[in-house]
Amino acid sequence: MTHEEYLARVTQYIKLDKNNQHHEDEQVVLDKFKHLLTYQTGTYDQDSSYQALDTFIKTHAEATMAPGHRNRVFYMALPPSVFVTVARGLRHNAYAQDGVNRIVVEKPFGKDLASSNQLAQDLGQLFTEKEIYRIDHYLGKEMVKNMMTVRFANIFFSQIWNRMYIDNVQVTFKEPFGTEGRGGYFDEFGIIRDVMQNHLTQILSLIAMERPISTDAEAIRDEKVKVLKCIPPIDIRDALLGQYISDGDARRPGYLEDPTLTNKASLTPTFAALVLWIQNERWEGVPFVLKAGKALDSAKVEVRIQFRNVAGNLYKNAARNELVIRVQPDEALYMKFNNKLPGLSYQTIQTDLDLTYENRYTDLAIPDAYESLLLDVLRNDHSNFVRDDELSAAWRIFTPLLHKIDQHDAEIQMTHYKYGSRGPDELDAFVRKYGYDRSNAH
């Protein structure tokens, strides 16, 4: 691309914040921003490319910066196969000598525990853990960032947040579209590696971890690692796997009909429900059910914390209390509780204490996850990034099951579900087995 083509390409996505509190003209803002952008091409595996980049940064960007403040952030939006090659090229040829360096890496961080550890070791020889930022963009989502606040800034949750009062926890990820156009990538990874080992496990650790000693990044990450270490590898009997098929409409083809998929006999799951057990004093016996699927009936990411039944039978219609944290769409937090039907009746009805963000925080804009995380990189705040030991703790939980799937182990059973459905028919019975009471659902 020429510099002009590059500018045209990146700025087509830039829109002014919908609140536009400064009442600026969109074109003026965009023009100002364009002046900050430069473009330099290179080849992954040639030192000369990185040397050229280094010279380019020195002449174009650093000329006006004070020594000691000539900091560099490298953001690797790259295929995983070149992570280490590029990191090495940057480290040896384009590392800032009079400022700090930071390198941002995107998943996939390996494919299993061994490959992830290898990647960590290779990167660790080039950049320090302080310099590395592993992005899990779910950690930049507003409701995920809110989880610690809800848990640790409210006294009424702290006392009941344990196995005595919580029956089961459901973390759900639903997407209404298939893998169209991404079949190549997806088939190699599957739904478990794509969103469960990372995004949903991050949510789980924020729900389950102990209170950190401070809000310092290392204190938070220490607690997340600790809780992950209490989870044994997933048992195949605690897994329900599925793959979508067409619902008969050509616009909604089955997974195996995706033209970008080369292995037409693939057994890669596009849906999974997996139960994780945390073996510690707080959570022993409470199933954490992670569910994720492509080509389902809706787009939704939410956490449902289902409390135990009230003892005795004073109120026969009383449903279970439930706390729902809706991550997307439409951020919300609501609590299902029982109330007397107003009026002469003494009937018990279930109702919601509802904090829907759109209604409550009408003039606050919620930043995109990446917006929030990239700002954290600039601020040198690692709280919402994945630490190396956290990554291996997460891979340890999923690797044996993933290997069984990869090797088409005889124990693996694949169910099928129609594009646009709620998932495999077996799902309801599966979640019921782990205590989930669906009569509560909307």
Enumerate the active-site residues.
Answer: 199
CB of 273: closest distance to ligand BG6 in angstroms? 17
Q: Is residue 195 close enough to count as binding ligand BG6 by CB under 6 A?
A: yes
Q: Which of 54, 167, 187, 194 binds ligand BG6 (CB under 6 A)?
A: 194
Q: Which residue is nearest to ligand BG6 (CB)?
A: 194
CB 188 within 8 A of CB 313: no
Q: Is residue 54 close enough to count as binding ligand BG6 by CB under 6 A?
A: no
CB of 137: closest distance to ligand BG6 in angstroms? 6
Nearer to ligand BG6, 86 or 301 (CB): 301
Nearer to ligand BG6, 195 or 286 (CB): 195
Nearer to ligand BG6, 204 or 319 (CB): 204
Give Cα separations from 73 to 11, 58, 96, 124 (angstroms). Answer: 20, 14, 10, 17
| Site track 289-318 with ligand BG6 (rule: CB under 6 A), x = hit | ------------x-----------------
Nearer to ligand BG6, 106 or 238 (CB): 106
Interface residues for ligand BG6 in 371-430 (CB under 6 A)?
A: none
CB of 364: closest distance to ligand BG6 in angstroms? 20
Interface residues for ligand BG6 in 108-167 (CB under 6 A)?
A: 137
CB of 195: closest distance to ligand BG6 in angstroms? 5
Nearer to ligand BG6, 49 or 270 (CB): 270
Query: How many chain residues are in contact with ligand BG6, going by CB under 6 A?
Result: 5
CB of 290: closest distance to ligand BG6 in angstroms? 14
Binding site for ligand BG6 (CB under 6 A): 137, 175, 194-195, 301
